[in-house]
Amino acid sequence: MDDRLCLLTVHAHPDDEASKGPGTVARYRAAGVHTVLVTCTGGEEGDILNPTMDTPEIRADIGAVRARELEASARIIGYEELELLGYRDSGMAGAEANARGDSFAQAPFDEAVEKLVRIVRRVRPQVIVGYGEDHSGYPHPDHIKAHEIAVAAFESAGEPGQFEGSGPAHQPLKLYYTVWSRRRIVETHEKFLELGLESPYDDRWFERPDQEDQITTSIDLTGYEDVRSEALLAHATQIDPTSKFWFGLPPEVARTIYPYDDYVLARNLTDSEPPETDLFAGVSASVSR
């Protein structure tokens, strides 16, 4: 067995890798872990949220623009490999783009799983990070399917009889789901109010399901607090640099608020038990057996 530690993350669109766990990836890359990003779609249906980038030329070439943004973001975060599954953005639930034959929503499930399994078997990660099961706060078809294929790939990559021809079987040891802590939201909201600033967190944020009690693993981002902002800014079409949500607090203040990425341990084939402070807890012993 390859004893190199490897972390693989599965995201739906360009920019998802910048908002969900980028500091974690940067920290592990700095520690020598091989880091692999899988992006399922090209993000062609994403709204252009930065007014300075909303031009006819960019709209006409949005797929290529978002691909370049993704490459820049991945470099900032520290991903060593970027893998594209090659599907088209499905758009939000009910959008006409859902029905396009090249959309992720319309992709045959086994086909999408096999594409991911092929990558898993090649790079041989011990840890996979994907999305959770509860999509009530953001029921995007591509996020739902990204969750489903990540789970299926975790469960089938180690089975020699599954997807023969996609490489030698490899069983990842841990599967995590990204989650935004309610505590992070509350502390950020309260800091806006403390400084006399308008908070971007309205009542709808506090009506979302509270997943705090599901968190099993928190990664300390000390030294990597700015990675998220820097990676987000690489997505110039998607991220308005004047956004209060992302950049409303002074950087020196934002760094002090809840410097952790949080996860739910969904599958675990090691001896590690939550709570954890390391995605690879229990992995070294398992790899060396």
CB atoms within 10 A of CB 163: 20
Helices (H), 200-242: 203-207, 227-234
- Residue 177: beta bridge partners? 130, 264
Cis amide linkage into residue 275, ω under 30° from 0: yes
Q: In this structure, which amino acid lies at residue 177?
A: Y
Backbone angles phi, psi at 73, to 5 degrees: -65, -45
How far is 197 from 189, CA to CA, in rounded Å?
10
What structural domains and CATH numbers belong to the chain?
6-181+213-284 (3.40.50.10320)
Helices (H) and strands (E) in the chain, counts: 12, 7
Enter the pTM of the model: 0.95
Q: What are the helix (H) ranges across 50-200?
A: 56-60, 62-77, 109-123, 141-156, 182-194
Residue carrying structure tokens 């623009």: 65
Would you write out the chain's pLDDT as a tens digit for each of its 289 residues? 456 899 999 999 999 999 999 999 999 999 999 999 999 999 999 999 999 999 999 999 999 999 999 999 999 999 999 999 999 999 999 999 999 999 999 999 999 999 999 999 999 999 999 999 988 888 999 999 999 999 999 999 999 999 999 999 999 999 999 998 999 999 999 999 999 999 999 998 888 878 889 999 999 999 999 999 999 999 999 999 999 999 999 999 999 999 999 999 999 999 999 999 999 999 975 554 3
